[in-house]
Amino acid sequence: MSEIVALLQTIRPLVSKTTLRQMSHVLYGLLVTTRRITMLELSRWTERGGSYRTLQRWYHNGLPWLPVMWCFFTQQLWHAEHEYIAAGDEVVVGKAGHETYGLGRFFSGLQQRVIPGLSFFVFSLMDVQERQSYPLHVAQVIKAEPEAKSKVKVLKAKPEQRRVGRPKGSKNKTGNPPRLSPELVRIQPMLQAFLNILRGVVRVSYLALDGHFGNYPSAWLVVQAGLHLISKLRHDAALYEPFAGKYRGRGPHPKYGPKVDVRRMKKKYLHSDTVADGIRTQIYQATLLNKEFAFPLNIVVMLKTNLTTQAQAHVILFTTDLKLAADKVIAFYSLRFQIEFNFRDAKQYWGLEDFMNVKEVAVTNAANLAFFMVNFSASLLKRFQRLNPEFSLLDLKAHYRGCRYVAETLKFLPQKPEPILLADIFEQIARLGMIHPAFDPAPTS
């Protein structure tokens, strides 16, 4: 418990003393319990002062989560000499009932269907050297109510007939901003708030998003925010070389050259060619055009061929940065998957799918708490992983649960053992449930 209180002192300027004390009990209960993460379950494992009513007050008290996440990250997890990129993705959790704030129907990637539940969009910072994701901004996705359809029949006026050809005085529309979908309209203020808190501290040049955002409106949104997008195109995306012929002197200047077959690309675009375990991997890089985008794209094609069956598969990655090397495009996009591990940990260990709160403030606190624990546990794990790099979250929870048992057992003794013996007791009991035990000289109670 002492190290939890010590780590929480980093956010002391942002919350009240009472809120900080209540939060320490909540975090301790999260680290100890192995069952569903609800307020009632947490209150069963907390020490004196962490009653159900205390936890309930904390859950219904609004917190400035973005500054809290940022302050903890900069004080405990940030390395000034490391390179960082940003990543974003949506996580959907299933919920039953009808009263939970923001309840709707969202597409679940895990179940590959639309389910009733809650949706949260998360922006994270990715440490390129450590290959670790740190979620910082969590915002709930609230879908607008569909407009009621009018039952009154409206007579459509006949379109006005005009002459064939382009109207006189009309202008090209290529420079106009694209029409953003309701999803991108919701994401735009989230991205701006995320970038505002990074400004002047962490320099980020790239935002990695999955293939769902591999389109022109998403790329335009990211570029307008001052970043370069790294994403994935559809496997059948139409790509063209820039026109390199001579202008014939009539009509508009040609923009598009020959269409590119990504499985038969020219040798001049080949970046690397390797063979391993009967699989040939060819990586191509080229600056190509797509008719949906108003600007050229830095395209990286990964083509894999089974040398036995000659079966082929390919992936088309792209970035709006025309100078970024192919190796970094692949590395940055693959790094994006680390945010999926954040989602897994938040659901499996920190209660993202378990909370039963229904009010807006309580739902916001429960979701942000789950992602705050992803960063908080990463800070705790570093101490143990210095001695054993394989030390995991299961080992961390086993450690705190064992220390909780020891603390309760010691209350029955007429006299506490000597400090040296007490440290040995904490060490041995805390190691019982661990898969990868690591010696920790300091007791946690």
For 202-244, the pLDDT digits (tens) are 999 999 999 999 999 999 999 999 999 999 999 999 999 998 8
The pLDDT, as a whole number, for residue 170 is 67
Cα 371 from Cα 342, distance rounded (Å):
7
Per DSSP bridges, beta strands 279-288 and 256-259 are: unpaired
Contact assessment for residue 444 and residue 380, using Cβ atoms and an 8 Å cutoff: no
Closest CA to 6 of 379, 427, 423: 379
Amino acid 147: pLDDT: 39
pTM score, two decimals? 0.85
- The alpha carbons of the chain give a radius of gyration, in whole angstroms, of 27
Model confidence over 292-336: pLDDT tens digits?
999 999 999 999 999 999 999 999 999 999 999 999 999 999 999
Residue with tokens 């649960």: 401
Instruction: Give the 3-state secondary structure of the chain.
Output: CHHHHHHHHHHHHHCCHHHHHHHHHHHHHHHHCCCCCCHHHHHHHCCCCCCHHHHHHHHCCCCCHHHHHHHHHHHHCCCCCCCEEEEEEEEEEECCCCCCCCCEEEEECCCCEEEEEEEEEEEEEEECCCCEEEEEEEEECCCCCCCCCCCCCCCCCCCCCCCCCCCCCCCCCCCCCCCCCHHHHHHHHHHHHHHHHHCCCCCCCEEECCHHHCCHHHHHHHHHCCCEEEEEECCCCCCEEECCCCCCCCCCCCCEEEECCCCCCCHHHEEEEEEECCEEEEEEEEEEECCCCCCCEEEEEEEEEECCCCCEEEEEEEECCCCCCHHHHHHHHHHCCHHHHHHHHHHHCCCCCCCCCCCHHHHHHHHHHHHHHHHHHHHHHHHHHCCCCCCCHHHHHHHHHHHHHHHHHHCCCCCCCCHHHHHHHHHHHHCCCCCCCCCCCCCCC
Q: Can you give the residue ranges of every domain in the chain?
A: 2-144+181-209+336-385, 240-246+253-322
pLDDT band at 389 (very low <50, low <70, confident <90, very high): confident
Nearest 10 degrees: Cα torsion 22, 28, 34, 36: 10
Q: What is the pLDDT of residue 125?
A: 95
Q: pLDDT for 399-444, tens place per residue?
A: 888 878 777 777 777 777 666 666 666 666 666 666 666 654 444 5
Q: What is the pLDDT of residue 154?
A: 46
Convert the pLDDT of each residue in 338-363 to its tens digit.
999 999 999 999 989 988 888 999 99
Smallest Cα–Cα separation from 240: which of 178, 305, 289, 298?
289
Mean per-residue pLDDT of the chain: 86
Q: Measured between alpha carbons, how far apart are the two ends of the chain, in Å?
A: 5
Confidence at residue 150, expressed as pLDDT on a 0 to 100 scale: 42
Best-predicted range by mean pLDDT (35-44, 46-55, 182-191, 382-391): 182-191
Q: Which of 168 and 379 is assigned the larger pLDDT?
A: 379
In this structure, the dihedral spanned by the alpha carbons of residues 370, 78, 326 and 211, taken in order and rounded to 10 degrees, is 20
Contact 75, 55 (CB under 8 A): no
* CA separation for the pair 20, 8 (Å, rounded): 7
- Could you give the CA distance from residue 351 to residue 27 in angstroms, rounded to a whole number? 12
Length of the chain: 445
pLDDT at 156: 52
> What are the residues whose beta carbons fall under 8 Å from the beta carbon of 133, sequence distance 6 or more?
87, 124, 125, 126, 127, 335, 338, 339, 341, 342
Supply the pLDDT for residue 414.
76
Contact 402, 444 (CB under 8 A): no
Residue 146 confidence (pLDDT): 57
